[in-house]
Amino acid sequence: MNSLLSIPYIVWLIISAIFFAVGEFVSKKFAIDRKLIYIAYILIAYTLGILAWLPAIVQKNQLSIVGTIWSVLSLLATILIGILIFNEKLSVLGIFGIITAFISIILLSIG
């Protein structure tokens, strides 16, 4: 476990958010084409995301900061998948929300 904790918590949060985003991607694929194999992929992706979350919370031990950073990272990854892969559109208000999300990560990281 000590070797896992030598990796910075932000790296674990990014890895966790990526697995979450993969789960979101496969969920969208399942919504389009209901193949049962997608359910297994979804469960694997979310499980790996949770496992990557654990070293981050153990290392930082501040749920409010780690949880907020993870939420924003996973949200941004999900938005990018929606826009870049599934050609979804984002409103001006949505863009403003993303900007404020970045600001929240910066403020939480400084604090």
Q: pLDDT digits over 19-51, tens only? A: 999 999 999 999 999 999 999 999 999 999 999
What does pTM read for this prediction?
A: 0.80
The DSSP string of 16-50 is HHHHHHHHHHHHHHHHHS--THHHHHHHHHHHHHH
Identify which has the larger pLDDT, 74 or 26.
Answer: 26
Q: What is the largest CA-CA distance in the chain?
A: 45
**Spatial separation of the C-alpha atoms in residues 48 and 78, rounded to whole Å:** 16
pLDDT for 104 equals 81
Which range is least confidently modeled, 43-47, 85-89, 97-101?
97-101
Residue listed under structure tokens 């930082």: 60
Asked whether the beta carbons of 77 and 21 are under 8 A apart, the reply is yes
What does the pLDDT average to over 73-95? 91
Domain boundaries, the chain: 2-110
